Structure 1
């Protein structure tokens, strides 16, 4: 029983040579130049972004140190105020 599907959805490729090797025209010099410009622009943008991230990280360090220093100063003031309040309440009870 040999059966051939008459309703096959496989497309017919009449333009493919018998060797089965497909051929594509090489890109024109205009297409190559356009692709090269895009690649260069993309590389520049990536470099600029990387530099901006590095500079932003380095530049944020002084602000972080200042913030931490201010927080330590505030904590010292609160601790000193608490100690003075505690000493005043103990000094009056003696």
Structure 2
């Protein structure tokens, strides 16, 4: 008796048609409605975070520029004071 060892762990299914295409029942209307609600909610949350992030960046921009400008002015005044002290 000759046996050919099979190294494949894939189970053999006898009920698969020869085309290799498995049939699956289409989702019910209730499943589709639930899925659509979930997808709409996810899209809404994603859009809300994007809008909040954009608004935050727009609002933070002028404050950042103002604080940088004040720092440049402070450093300029300090350098002038330092130079006047070195001349004396």
Classify the TM-score, shorter chain. Answer: 0.7 to 0.9
User: For the residues of structure 1 that align with 2:3 and 2:22, how far apart are their CA atoms?
Assistant: 27
Distance 1:31 1:43 in 2: 18
Computing the radius of gyration from Cα coordinates, the structure with the larger value is: 1
Match of 1:28 in 2: 28
How far 1:50 moved relative to its partner?
Answer: 1.1
Counterpart residue number, 1:59: 59
- Given the superposition, is the C-alpha separation of residues 10 and 63 from structure 1 closer, same or farther in structure 2, using an over 3 Å criterion? closer
Q: 5+ unaligned residues in a row in structure 1: which ranges?
A: 90-94
Give the C-alpha shift of residue 19 in structure 1. Answer: 4.1
Go from structure 1 to structure 2 and tell me whether the alpha carbon gap of 1:19 and 1:80 turns closer, same or farther (over 3 Å shift): closer
Q: Work out the CA distance in 2 between the residues paired with 1:79 and 1:38.
A: 60
Q: Could you say which residue in structure 1 is the equivalent of 2:39?
A: 39
Aligned-residue CA RMSD (Å): 1.9
Counterpart residue number, 1:92: none
For 2:80, what is the secondary structure of its paired residue? helix
CA distance in 2, matches of 1:71, 1:63: 12
Report the TM-score when normalising by structure 2.
0.79
Aligned mates of 1:74, 1:10 — CA distance in 2: 74
CA distance in 2, matches of 1:84, 1:19: 92
